[in-house]
Amino acid sequence: MYDFKGKTALITGAARGIGRAIALELAKGGASLALNDVNEAAANEAIELATKAGSPKARFYKFDVADPAACDKAVEAVVADFGGLHILVNNAGISIDALVMRFKDEDWKKVLDINLTGAFYLTRSACRPMMKQRSGAIVNLASVVGEMGNAGQAAYSASKGGLIALTKTTAKELAARNIRVNAVAPGFIDTPMTQALPEAAKAKMFEAIPLARLGTPQDIADCVAWLASEKASYVTGAVIKVNGGMYM
């Protein structure tokens, strides 16, 4: 457990899965939470769980990460409501899969807008109050396929690869103001999406993972919490692989 008392974290895609696990892990350390998601009911459930876990204050903020004005307003609201913003976790993301030759223009744009451009908008918005307070931690959720590629996931791979590049560039730009920017690149994680796969597909996945198991949302949350904490105060521009060894 890390000490996040007096810190406020804004987490996108926080209602379920990895986002919820991150929210609960930060809550255990006493962080106040600003949670964003498209699923308001699930987000409110996450808020209730976070409060029980130890968060002194948790609120839901409904906004579109792909809307730059909405991102600005959301960050302003969080700072006004909580008195500051110390941690940003860019977790919101979608995947639309298809071969390149069949990929629709609107689907390409949608994936890039949410996964990559949304993270850029929020980083730009959040770094302003962080620069004034001369401290902050930003953690981006990338993916193993952003490092190694994957057939049928051109848009998703491109968005996550771009997020890795964005992480490294913003880490260099913001380091002078003591703002650290890092990324976590999960491998195959045990979520409802992977649980629904046929047994043959699951078996093939396991063959590619030296640790021979899927990761859990908690595996990712533990890494994000470390990067957001003062225990990682000398870490910036890093891309931490949490993939069971499937890509080294």
E-assigned strand segments in 91-176: 136-141
Q: Is residue 176 part of a domain?
A: yes
pLDDT tens profile 190-220: 987 677 777 887 888 889 999 999 999 999 9
Q: Output the pLDDT for position 139.
A: 99
Q: Is residue 37, in this structure, part of any structural domain at all?
A: yes
45-97 pLDDT tens trace: 999 999 999 999 999 999 999 999 999 999 999 999 999 999 999 999 999 99
Catalytic residue, chosen from 2, 156, 234, 247, is 156
Evaluated on CA atoms 69, 75, 79, 85, the torsion sign reads: negative
Smallest CA-to-CA distance from 150 within 98, 202, 109 is with 98
Please check whether residue 194 lies inside any domain of the structure: no
Whole-angstrom distance, CA of residue 195 vs CA of residue 78: 35
156 part of the active site: yes
Please count the structural domains in the chain.
Answer: 1
Stretch 107-121: mean pLDDT: 98
Q: How does residue 243 score in pLDDT terms, banded at 50, 70 and 90?
A: very high
Is 212 a domain residue?
no
Domain annotation covers residue 205: no
User: Burial code of 2-19, b = ≥16 C-beta within 10 A, e = fewer?
Assistant: bebeebbbbbbbbbbbbb
pLDDT at position 202: 80
What is the reported pLDDT for 199?
84
Domain that holds residue 48: 8-187+217-239
Provide the 10 A C-beta neighbour count for residue 22.
31
CB-based contact 60:67 (threshold 8 Å): no
CATH of the domain at 163: 3.40.50.720
In a domain, 204, yes or no: no
**Confidence check: pLDDT of 16 > 90:** yes
* Residue 98: inside a domain: yes
Model pLDDT, residue 205? 84
pLDDT of residue 174: 98
Average pLDDT over residues 220-228: 98
Residue 237 has pLDDT above 80, yes or no: yes
pLDDT for the residue numbered 177: 98
Q: Give the mean pLDDT of 91-118.
A: 97
pLDDT tens-place string over residues 140-189: 999 999 999 999 999 999 999 999 999 999 999 999 999 999 999 999 99
Confidence band, pLDDT 50/70/90 cuts, at residue 1: confident
Does some domain include residue 1? no
